[in-house]
Structure formats: structure tokens, C-alpha cells
Chains A and B, each alone.
Chain A
Amino acid sequence: MTTRMNRRSFISTTMGVAGGLTFLGPRALMAQDGATLRFALSAFPPSFEAWTSTGTAAGTIKLMMHRGLLSYDAQGMLRGELAESWEVDDAGVWTFNLREAKWHDGTPVTAADVAWTIEEVAKPDSAAYRQGQLALITKVETPDDRTVRIFTEEPLAILPGWFAHYHMPILKTGEPKDTQIGAGPFMLDNIERGVSVSLKAFDGYYKEGLPKLAGVEAIVYADENLRVAALEAGDVDLAEYVPWQAMEQVEGNDALKLDVVDGPFMYLTFNGSRPPFDNPKVRQAVAHAIKREDIVAAAFFNRGGALEHLPIADASEFFNPEYANAWNYDPEKSRALLAEAGYPDGFDCVMLSTAQYGMHQSTAEVCQAYLSMVGINVQLDLPEWSSRVKKGNEGQYDLAVMGTTADNNDPDGLVNVLDGALPASFVRSFALETPEISELFARGRATFDTEERKAIYKELEKVAVETVPLVGLAWRAQGYGMQSNVSGFANLPGQLTFYSGIMLEETMIG
């Protein structure tokens, strides 16, 4: 009898404690009413610091809470946000004219806020994504509350693009970097760390009639399969990062729709500090050894496309058709280049990738197979992502598989992956000098005439095709899946896909 009583009380106590502790949990996590959009995020933002690069999921949250001077529209064209208009004078000084906008606490957004933001981001220890670029700003003038004049040492054509990035919002003077006060269409309502972020509409938003939703419930579904399951089960209205293998299934479901663009891309980087990849002939041999279609099939379920040149989309005005297949699959040419470089029998090398993300591993495996056919014996190094980042930053590899997006659709957005003058990083080749490319990027930035810029970037691509600071492999599709009654949301074109959170202000349900 005693035993039974004990067992019963044990069970009831356990349940009581578990239930009681659960009661202590924070408030609601799920959608409250029809006008609240449930958004399946792929990851919880590692931090809410507005200017730090904290990933694309964090970018989507920032695009709801904050606004920069500019942004992009559904067609990928620059448009004004806090800045109503912007212009550059003959001396290369950019003037931004601010519109009447309010912070979430009701106070007005002023030119002083913009100047303060630029000053804070440009500080050497700001850890801001745009620190390097904004450090080039020599002076900021605020002649009145609505006007900001930005001076740089050299004239910079691409400066407006800096202020359209989701990691470059304007913050209110004196606010902490992870402030909850923004000027965006939604206000932060509640954060359940690691689980969800609730946002509600800001009724003082500067665009009349927006946002159309009462709120957004961004719920983290780290597992891509569960994200799709949640979409199919109707648990969420909109989901980012639809996995490639599920795209057909989402398209085939009458209750759902899919919006896909080719934006992010896969590529190979090299260790230029030692043989054999310090030799451009060897890098060219690699570029001609790999059949890209097999990567698209193996890693991306045919959702994407072959990339045999620099990652400049064919829809871009800077696309150069003559280089479209510059690094075409040609094993004979590859073997000849190897022989020319002094490796007629090939060589052994280590390729760094990661086992954490299937697409990185599959891409590496296809490359390994094709490189072995021309005599390059590749040993794969597949640590988890954090080790891969560290090894990449320290150059502990011979060649490496990488995937990313450019900063934006302007060719200057490729500077991060191409310019060897920048500090060592896992996103670009290690210790690979690219003096001509660095110089052409600088010229491109200082040139305002579009035709002249086209000529500069054409020259840049020509140099890149010959010197191979990276090898383009594949475009990969980036998709948002949504219930068919969701309207107003669009996947922004090309490299801007991760800016698509900007469209949530126009999104409606039903």
C-alpha cells in the first residue's frame, strides 16, 4: 500500500512541478488572429545587434523592425526609405533628403540620427558589417533636420547601396546596438529566445496604409523538413529556405505556392600561399575540370544552374555574354593546362568543405570525382561548420567549397569574394593577391557613368577568367513557400533574395 501511495504521489508531484514550471514560461508564441502572419524562420537570430552581420534570419527580423536610408523594391531597384531622395554633386558629395518619419517611441527621425549612426558604425571596434566601408566617410554634415551630406575621400558611385543593406539600418541617437526601437513597419512585441519573435504593426509607420498585417509571428523551424511540414500542415503561412528536394512538393500542393529565384552561388576558393594553387594555370585547370550540371543535380535537385564564370546573373546589365562559358567543362583542356603548369601526372591535395550542410558536402564530392578524372587526387576535409570557418580563415586547406550571396546585384557586391587585398577570410581565396582586380574594383566604385562601369567590370571579369581567384560552380535556387492566400510578398531578384523581408510590409493574408 505504501509503495502505491508513493508512486502515485511521485507521479502527481512530477506532473505538478512540470506543469507549474511550464506556467512560468513567457507569453504566447503562436498566432493570435487572422491578420497575424506566421513566418517560419530557418534560425533564431544569434543577436539583435542591428549593424552586426548576424545572418539572413536576423536580417529578416531587422527588415521588419528597422529601416535604412534606402532599400530595394520587388524588381530589385533602389528605392527611398528614410531618405525620400538622394543625389550626388560633381565633387562626389552625396546628399540624402529625409522624409518625415517616426521612431517606435513616437519621436521624429532626424539627420542627427543618421550622422550618429554613421559615426558609430565607422568606429574601428564597432564590429559592424559596414564598418570597413563607412570608415571611408570623411565627414557628415547635417545642415538641417532633414538633410544629410556625406563626404568621402574619393567619389563613390556605390555609396547608396551601402545604406540599403539590412545590416545597415539607421538607429536613434544614443540607443544601444540591439535596441528595440526602430523606424520599421513592425515593433518588437516579444522575444522567446531560440523559439520565436513576435512583432506587431507600428501605427506611426511613414508609409500610408502600411503595414497591412496586424503582426508577424516569426517562429524558428531549424529543421528544413519540419519547416515544410509546418507549411503543409497549415501551422505557418510563409516559410523561408524551402529545401530544394521539397520544392516540387510545395509547387504540386494546391494550397501552397512557391516563389524561387537563383541568387546564392557555390564556388571554389584556393590557398594561394603555396603550390600547386599559387599557379593560375592550375586554377584554370580546376575551372575546366568540373561538370557543373552534376553539382546542380546532386546538391540542388536540379534547382539552380551551372555557373562557368563570375557570379554575375544573366539578367544583370553587367552580364558579359562572351564570358558566360569561360570556364566550361573541358577535361582535355584541363589536362593540358596541368601539364603546362608542370603537373602532367596530377597531384594530391586537400579540399575543405563541411559535413554540416548537405549542399556543401555534395558539391565537394562531385568536384572530387571530376578532379580525379584529370589526375587531381582530392582528399576531402569535412569538419562541422565552425571548424570549417576557422580553417578557411587560417588557410588550412588547398582548395575549398564555399557558398554565399553577393552584397547586392551591383558587381561591386562581389568584392567580398574576389578582392585579394581584403584581410584573410573563409569567403575568399587565402593569400591570393589580385592587384588588377582590386584596382578595377576601386575604379568601378569611383565611376558614375553606367557605360563606363560596364567596361570596367568587363575588364575585371576578363582578368578573373585568366587569374581565377575563384571558380564559379553553381547558382542555387532560394525559395519562399507560402499559403495560397498570402499576397503581396515577393522573393527579391538575384543576390537580393535575402532582402525579401522588406516585402512583409505589403504582405496580406486572404
Chain B
Amino acid sequence: MLRYIAYRSLVAIFLVWTVVTLVFLLLHLIPGDPAELLLSQGSVAADPQAVAALREKMGLNAPLWQQYLDHLSGVLSGDLGASFRDGAPVMGQIVQRLPRTLEVIAAAALIASAFGVPLGTWAAIRTGGWADSFVSFLSSVALSTPVFVVGSIAILIFAQHLQWLPAGGFVPFSEDPAQHLKLLLLPACTVALSLWAVITRMTRASVLEVLERDHVRTARAKGLTRTAILRRHVVRNALIPVLTILGLEMGTLIGGTVLVEFVFNWPGLSGYLVAAVDARDYPEVVGIVMTISVLFVFLNLVVDVVNAWLDPRISLVSK
């Protein structure tokens, strides 16, 4: 097991390095000069002399390989650099914003699982019936509706018309827990909707498969009640692939909540990344992408290890 983890960790480090290098190079390839952009706010002409001075200050006049090496050595010493725009340390910003994105994802995963697993199971045991069709229809709609549509409709109904919840924004939990949870509800539900559809479909397929297995037939033959069979023998077994999918989906969501964060003004990591790309803030972009790739690779690793641990039939040793 330890050897396997060590091997996977090495692969993970290589992957992260590749991502960081690619992002660094791509950023310098695409047009747009951070110094020029910073001085051209509000459609105002940037003075070439001021742009040159700022480029020097940003270290952009150094050869690309030197900028790359400087950045890599910074990363290795735990320093992700400072924002081009206002000199704020990138690490500090990530530490502040990442938990907010994780919070939305965790809340969404909870909501999605709470509704997805029971509904998926229900659809499976009523397979072919109206309940199955109804759940399939709902999950298709949920899966195919873009989050910005869901988010906008939610704001229209719950904020503008009913005025039950704020339209968007953020307040730390420590300041006002009730307001924090109110603000969290709409973005979490919006993210949860498509996640719910995935979990429901996965649960349904998985439960259907387990229902066909011999041990379930045996349990029926033993005269166990339907509820007991479902709870003890079906759902628990069916949940393993669902958990795997949930883990991978959560990894994808770390960088994929951009639209939700934008629509609800939730100051998480994804929105921060978009603003950084817009401003060509190289240290910020590389720092955030690196964080996201580290988390994604780590989550994959955890999912693999946990799966192997839960099911000894999954071999840890590459053949």
C-alpha cells in the first residue's frame, strides 16, 4: 500500500509540474500585456513610458526562461508570488478563497446526495414504472439546464419576487452565521442540481445491478423484508461507485464553479481565477491553477486508495 501511494504521489508531482509549466507558457503566448491592461482601465490611453516602467517593476522584461525559473524556485519555497495588480500575496488570497469554494461544493454534495440516493433507489425499485420515468425526466432536465440559467431563475424567484433570500454576496460565518447560510443556500442548490442528476442516475443504475446479484436473491429467499434487503444488502453495495463518481465530480467542481460564483457574487477560487486571467495577472493564474490541479490530483489519489481499501479485489499493484 505504501509503495503504491509513493508511486502515485510521484506521478502526481509530475502531473502538477506539467500543468504549471503549460499554464505558465500558455499565459505568455496569449496576447494581452498585464502592464498595459492595468494602465488602460476605463478606456484610458496608457502612456508607453509608464507601461515600460511597470513591466520592469513586474519583472516582465527578463527572459522567459528566467521568469520561469524564478517562479519555479518561488513555488518550491512555498511562495506563489504577488499579484501584479496590487501586490497582494497569491498564497494568502488562495487560502482565503479556497475554503469558500469548497464550502459551496460540500454543501452541494450534501444536498445532492440527500435527494439523489433515495430518489435513485426509488427509481430503480420501480424500474419501468411512472416513478422511474418521472425521475429520469427530472434528472435529464437538471443535467441539461446550464447553471447560469438555474441560478438566474433562482434569483428571479427567491430574491426578486419572493424576497426570501438575498440575491447574492458573501458574509463570513463568523460575522453572521444566519446570513452566511442564507447566502450559501442558492449557490449550493444551483450546483447541487446537476450533481443531484448525476448521483440519481448513478444510484439507479448501481441499485439495479446489485438487485440482480445472487446475494440479494438469497436474502429474499431467506424471507428478509424488502426494506431490510434494500438497506443492508442493496444500497450499501450500490453506493461504492456512487461515492467514486461523487469524489471525481467534486474535484471537477473546484475549478468548475465559475459561473455559479459569478452569478451569485460568491467570492471563491473560480471567480478569482477568471478575474486573474482577465487582467493577465500571471502569478495569480499560475498559483490558482496549481492549487486546483494539486487538489484534483490529490482527490483522485484519495478516491483510488479509498476504493482499494474498501474493496480488496481492486489491485494496488500495477501489473
Contacts and interface: CB of A to CB of B under 8 A. Distances in A.
A58 interface: yes
A9 to B, nearest CB: 13
Contacts of B45: 416, 422-423, 425-428
Q: Quick one: which of A23, A24, A132, A195 has the most chain B CB within 10 A?
A: A195
B110 A229 contact: no
B41 A58 contact: yes
Contacts of A425: 45-46
Contacts of A138: none
A387 B31 contact: yes
Nearest to B92: A193
Given A3-B236, A127-B53, A425-B46, A235 B41 contact: no
Contacts of A26: 96, 172
B163 interface: yes
Contacts of B262: 222-223
A157 B267 CA distance: 46
B18 interface: no
A178 interface: yes
B39 A127 contact: yes
B102 interface: yes
A178 B106 contact: no
Given A25-B173, A48-B86, A233-B160, A3 B310 contact: yes
A77 interface: no
Given A30-B171, A125-B50, A229-B168, A11 B43 contact: no
B41 A221 contact: no
A80 B310 CA distance: 75
Contacts of B33: 386, 390
B85 A46 contact: yes
B275 A194 contact: yes
Given A194-B275, A221-B168, A124 B86 contact: no
Contacts of A462: none
A195 B170 contact: yes
A73 interface: no
A184 B102 CA distance: 39
A464 interface: no
A226 B159 CA distance: 10
A447 interface: no
A53 B39 contact: yes
A53 B42 contact: yes
A222 B152 contact: no
B54 interface: yes
Contacts of B53: 124-125, 127
B41 A54 contact: yes
Interface stretch (A14-22, A146-154, A332-340): A14-22
A45 to B, nearest CB: 8
B173 A131 contact: no
A73 to B, nearest CB: 22
B152 A29 contact: no
A393 B50 CA distance: 14
B39 A28 contact: no
Interface in B47-86: 47-50, 53-54, 85-86
A416 to B, nearest CB: 6
Given A11-B110, A29-B171, A232-B160, A383 B31 contact: yes
B146 interface: no
A47 B38 contact: yes
A26 B99 CA distance: 13
Contacts of A124: 49, 53
B207 to A, nearest CB: 16
Given A56-B42, A131-B47, A423-B48, 4 more contacts: A25-B172, A194-B271, A390-B31, A426-B40
Nearest 4 A/B pairs, CB to CB: A21-B99, A425-B45, A386-B32, A55-B41
24 contacts: A15-B110, A18-B99, A21-B98, A22-B174, A25-B100, A26-B96, A28-B171, A30-B176, A48-B86, A125-B49, A126-B50, A128-B50, A131-B47, A132-B47, A178-B86, A221-B168, A223-B265, A229-B155, A234-B163, A386-B31, A389-B32, A393-B36, A393-B46, A423-B47
